[in-house]
Amino acid sequence: MLQFFKNPNYDIVGKRRFTFILSMVIILAGIVSLFVQGLNYGVDFAGGAKMQIKFNKTISAEELRARFSENGLGNPEIKSSGENEYMITINAEDSEDSDEILDQTLSGLDYSLLQVDKVGPKIGSEMRSNSVKAIGIALILILIYITVRFELKFAIGAVIALAHDVMVTLAIFSFLQWEFSIPVLAAFLTIVGYSLNDTIVVYDRIRENIKIHKGKPLSEVINLSINQSLSRTIITSLTTFLVVFVLALFGGQVLFGFSIAMLIGVIVGTYSSMYVAAPILIAWSHKFKEKDEKKK
Amino acid sequence: MKEYLLFCPKQQDNIEQNMEVNFGMSKNLIWRYLFIVVLLGWALYALMPTMQYERLSNADKTALEEEGKLFDLESKIIKRGLDLQGGMHLILEINVPKFIKKIADHQSRAYYDFMDKVDAIYSENPELDYLDIMLEAANTDSLRLSRYFPTENRKTDNKAVTDNLQKECEQAVVRAEEIIRNRVDEFGVSEPVIQLIGNKRIIVELAGIDDPQRAKDIIHNTALLEFILLKDAEYSQDIINRIDAAVKRTSPGDIAQLDTAVISNKVSTDKEISVSELLGLEEDNGVASDSSVLVDENLAAERPFSALLRNLGWDIGVPVENYYAVNRILTDSEVTRVLPNDLRILLSGKTQKVETVDGGTAEFYTLYFVNREPGLTGEAVKEAKAELGSVSSEQMGQPLVNVRMNTEGTKTWARLTGANIDKRLAIVLDNKVQMAPNIKSKIPNGRTVIEGFASLQEAQDIEIVLKAGALPAPIDIIEERTVGATLGADSIERGVKSALIGMAIVALLIIAYYRGAGLIAFGTLVLNIIFVLAILASLRATLTLPGIAGLVLIMGMSVDANVLIFERIREEYLKGKTIRSAVENGYSRALITISDANLTTLVTALVLWHYGSGPIRGFAVVLFWGIVFNFVSGYFISRTVFITFSHGKKPLKKLSI
């Protein structure tokens, strides 16, 4: 039988100080980056117009840019998205009369509009507040579910791990200034679900092992549980990673943002369920044990 | 530790025994098989129309359409989202500020001051409710809103007035939805989605649109048709003088800045045009009678508005380059407040070409000074028909719309034309003058012809909107998403390709790792996808591109259930248990984990379902059903297969896992 790990026994919880610091550093840097340069909101959230246009004759991005600035559209973002195909983004202020301006700008050219996304600034800001609400509600529901099924400390560990995953992925999107769109947001919520999946599998083992190995120190039980579920974690993460990778490669530009966010999320989610969610239980128990002892 | 287990591990042994009793019996297995067969039968039945449809060629489709069976078939296949089949998604919103100004009754200087103030607050805080701002501003200024917006029941407190306005807005949106529905029906789009969201917005979704711009115009143009008498020339001249004075007095700096580009441009290109032409109307007043002076910036500064206009003899022309400058001056609140209440200033919808002194041509819009109250509106229209002018008529070959009025309209039309012979009447569509003919004689039969269209198609679009009626309020498009049919087809191709490659990779990986058991896992994964597609077809849910991404993702996730089970079975097997009890233990222990893990993902899928729109909702739907069917195929069916192999009459000697 093919096995990735034969009786694995890695000291995972022992490295928790190091991994906590690593996560904290990335998250803090991410927060700084969010304050300094923020997120690169796409038209979904910032408002504006994004058009994918295919031309039937060769035209350069420079030529297009010149046409746009002639017609009073200062400096739209123009990216090539294929052969004689461009993705043109106009910001919210300039996009109000974009229909007329576009007609003028492109008059005389043979082109077809492949895709147009035009979002008013009002809708954009509504989307932002709705998204924050959606992620918040998802986290609260999960907190309730795990508290009912496990214990509060498990729930808090899980939610911290999820918040960790969202923050780290957000940090990467902010560092690299990748476009933050609605599909990326959907990926974030999926990451929450996926990472939770991982965390719960580990928690389940911990819960089971606490009963089997009574008297053993918690950190040992947790380490054992992580090791026991290690091959499952790796196989599942690997398959999910691979299918999402296929999506990123072949899914086209519409799904690219989603796939990239998912790829990062799968890695971060796997890491967090082993190195964040479980070790937090130890930190939590230590704290309360001290309190209990003080009471006595 | 608190215990809230669905399946308490302490009773593990009992369960094991029970299972041997229960599932060991072939009778029980038969029920399992029966359930699976019924499920598979349903899935194939649900997917049959889709498979049939996919195999149809275009010719087949036309044939079916003629038989009237295509629609029936199309209503049973998996519905494709706009991002996959191409189409247009619009969110429309009533423009509350414009609507309220439209229904304002009494307009005074205080009214303009007040509305300017409200507009200023609103433009800084667009997230606030316009009516709330109005109410608060009116209360702080101790202003009585009922002076400008009389209510039905003559209540005078401000709250009652804004409540009433709120009601009128809501009613306007409801009526707008009906009218848009009529227009779309006339336009002819299959399965359009038109629905109200909240009390201010309307969603419109049209699949397979060739010309999005045209569809957009038909949907959101107000289509208010008005027949309005023109003011006479002297009156118009007086108004021009007033505007000149107002522009000069209020903000000469601003206007100079605004129009320097336009004005200097004009000086350089239109040198031959004389002042008498430029300020032609002023000749009558003897203000600027020296006729050969060129336009310069000083003169433009002196009479900033007139300097933008040209005398075209019969009409007042606005050179195309000056169009925006003129429009801006006319909508400036400093200008509007010096104008009399019974006046409207309109521009033509189209330009006309006029020969200039030097023999070239220049393009002009036409400026009209008309009564505020129309003599007749589009409500009088009973029938409209677009066509090309007949050979014998003056409008030979010209696109035009023949209008026939209802009884009441016919009466009003006869009275209006009869009383104003030799006067000019503007036929106005959405505040743009289509034409302004001289009334030659009384028209008693309630017919009229509207000209001034660029093409027959434009005339046909006007026919549609005239038939459906005018929108009761100005409507803005606040979100627009259009996907071309080619991109949609491309997306399907990419999505299917990704799904197939993803499936192949998962199959390779899992069969290499788990051998025979991996094959079972792969089979259940394929079943899972089939079930999800079947439920999409049955529920008429929409498959979007993110939905296809969801299918790819649930492949990864449904493998997880099997991995959890197999790892458990392996563990038990390696501990030395029999195949049979290893399998039983693996399945029953893994169930707790699988339920916990999947139920939480279900929670996020539901949140996405609720908050997402369009394509994202498509993703949530697939994710949701993917998880539900994961229990069926990834757990129940795979378990049945395992039981068959390990409990059967010839149990396996060796576990291929």
User: Which of the residue ranges A4-8, B144-148, B462-466, B481-485 would you say has the lowest mean pLDDT?
Assistant: A4-8
CB atoms within 10 A of CB A224: 20
Segments forming the whole domain that contains residue B118: 89-220+476-483
Structural contact between residues B221 and B465, judged by C-beta atoms closer than 8 angstroms: yes
pLDDT at B169 (0 to 100): 92
Say which residue, A253 or A87, is predicted with more confidence: A87
Is residue B354 situated within a structural domain?
yes
- CATH T-level assignment (fold) for domain A48-119: Alpha-Beta Plaits (3.30.70)
Which of A98, A99, A190 should we substitute to test contact with B (largest number of B Cβ atoms within 10 Å)? A190
**What are the boundaries of each domain within chain A?**
13-42+123-295, 48-119
Q: What percent of chain B has pLDDT over 70?
A: 86
> CATH number for the domain including B188?
3.30.70.3400
Among A111-125, B34-48, B123-137, B201-215, the range with the most confident prediction by mean pLDDT is B34-48
Q: How far A194 CA sits from the closest chain B CA (Å)?
A: 7
Q: Please check whether residues B355 and B329 belong to one and the same domain.
A: yes
Percent of chain A with pLDDT over 70: 93
| Distance (Å) from the alpha carbon of A219 to chain B's nearest alpha carbon | 16
Q: With cut-offs at 50, 70 and 90, classify the pLDDT of residue B258.
A: very low
- Residue A259: closest CA among chain B residues belongs to which residue? B549
B322 CA to chain A: closest CA distance, Å? 15
Shared domain for B538 and B447, answered yes or no, is no
Q: Poorest-confidence range of A89-103, B173-187, B386-400, B598-612?
A: A89-103
Q: Does B509 contact A238 at a Cβ distance shorter than 8 Å? A: yes
CATH number at residue B535: 1.20.1640.10
Looking at the DSSP assignment, which residues form a beta bridge with residue B432?
A: B347, B429
Q: How confident is the model at residue A260 (pLDDT cuts 50, 70, 90)?
A: very high
- Whether residues A114 and B498 touch (CB distance < 8 A) is answered with no
Q: Lowest mean pLDDT of A98-107, A256-265, B79-88, B561-570, name the range.
A: A98-107
Between strands A111-119 and B87-94, the pairing is: unpaired
Question: What is the per-residue pLDDT for B62?
Answer: 83
Q: Which residues in chain B have Cβ-Cβ distances shorter than 8 Å to A130?
A: 611
**Distance in angstroms (rounded) separating the CA atoms of residues B110 and B358:** 49
Alpha-carbon distance B104 to nearest alpha carbon in chain A (angstroms): 25
Examine residue B458 and state whether it is found in any structural domain, yes or no: no
Q: List pLDDT tens digits, range B224-243.
A: 888 999 988 888 888 888 88
**Shared domain check, B45 and B101:** no
Please check whether residues B215 and B262 belong to one and the same domain.
Answer: no
Closest A-chain CA to B566: A232
Q: How many CB atoms lie within 10 A of CB A137?
A: 16
pLDDT of residue B334: 77
- Compare CB distances from A142 to B506, B603, B623 and report the shortest one's residue: B603
Are A205 and B571 a contacting pair, CB within 8 Å?
Answer: no
Q: Which of B138-147, B270-279, B321-330, B494-503 has the lowest mean pLDDT?
A: B270-279
Option in B2, B127, B498 nearest A250 (CB): B498
pLDDT of residue B27: 66
**Span of A16-20, B24-28, B110-114, B580-584 with lowest mean pLDDT:** B24-28
* Chain A nearest CA to B571, separation (Å): 9
Contact A123 B91 (CB under 8 A): yes
Within a domain: B457: no
- Residues B169, B153 share a domain: yes
Q: Do A192 and B512 touch (CB under 8 A)?
A: no
pLDDT at B621: 93
Q: B134 with B40, same domain?
A: no
Residue B297 confidence class, pLDDT cut points 50, 70, 90: low
CB neighbour class for B411 (10 Å; exposed up to 12, middle 13-18, buried from 19): middle
Contact B91 A243 (CB under 8 A): no
B477 touches B618 (CB < 8 A): no
For residues B35-59, average pLDDT: 91
Give ipTM to 2 decimals: 0.87
pLDDT of B506 higher than 60: yes
Residues B243 and B372 placed together within one structural domain of the fold:
yes
Residue B26: pLDDT band (50, 70, 90) is low
User: Does pLDDT of B215 surpass 80?
Assistant: yes
Structure tokens at B489: 């087809």
Contact call for residues B197 and B122 (beta carbons, < 8 A): no
Q: What is the mean pLDDT of residues B254-260?
A: 44
Tell me whether residue B9 is in a domain. no
Asked if residue B158 has pLDDT above 80, the reply is yes
- Chain B residues within 8 A of A52 when measuring between CB atoms: 487
What is the percent of chain B with per-residue pLDDT over 90, rounded to a whole number? 20
Kindly report the nearest CA distance between residue B419 and chain A, in angstroms: 41
Give yes or no for residue B365 having a pLDDT over 70. yes
Mean model confidence pLDDT for chain B: 81
- Judged by DSSP in three states, B596 sits in helix
Would the CB atoms of A120 and B476 count as touching at under 8 Å?
yes
* A55 contact residues in B (CB cutoff 8 A): none
Q: Do A134 and B490 touch (CB under 8 A)?
A: no
Percent pLDDT > 90 in chain A is 18
Give pairs for B22-28: CB < 8 Å, separation 24+.
B23/B584, B23/B643, B23/B647, B24/B647
pLDDT for B448 beyond 50: yes
pLDDT at B285: 35
Instruction: Considering the domain delimited by A13-42+123-295, tell me its CATH architecture.
Output: Up-down Bundle (1.20)
Contact B608 A201 (CB under 8 A): no
Instruction: Collapse the DSSP code of B540 into the 3-class scheme (helix H, G, I; strand E, B; otherwise coil) and give the result.
Output: coil
Whole-Å CA distances, B180 to A287, B188, B190, B217, B377: 64, 12, 15, 11, 19
Tens of pLDDT, residue by residue over B640-654, are: 998 888 776 666 667
B216: chain A residues, CB-CB within 8 Å: 99
Q: Per the confidence metrics, is the pTM higher than 0.90?
A: no
Tell me if B155 is assigned to some domain.
yes
Count of structural domains, chain B: 3
CB contact under 8 A, A113 and B476: no
Q: Taking CB atoms and an 8 Å limit, are A99 and B486 in contact across chains? A: no
The Cβ of residue B243 has, within 10 Å, a number of other Cβ atoms equal to 24
Chain B nearest CA to A162, separation (Å): 12
- For residues A218 and A282, is the Cβ–Cβ distance under 8 A? yes
What is the residue-wise DSSP string for A148-179?
Answer: HHS-HHHHHHHHHHHHHHHHHHHHHHHHTT-E
Q: What is the pLDDT of residues B269-278, one digit of tens each?
A: 333 333 333 3
Residues in chain B closer than 8 A to A186 (CB atoms): 546, 608, 612, 616, 619-620
B337 shares its domain with B196: no
Q: Please check whether residues B426 and B553 belong to one and the same domain.
A: no
> Is residue B65, in this structure, part of any structural domain at all?
no
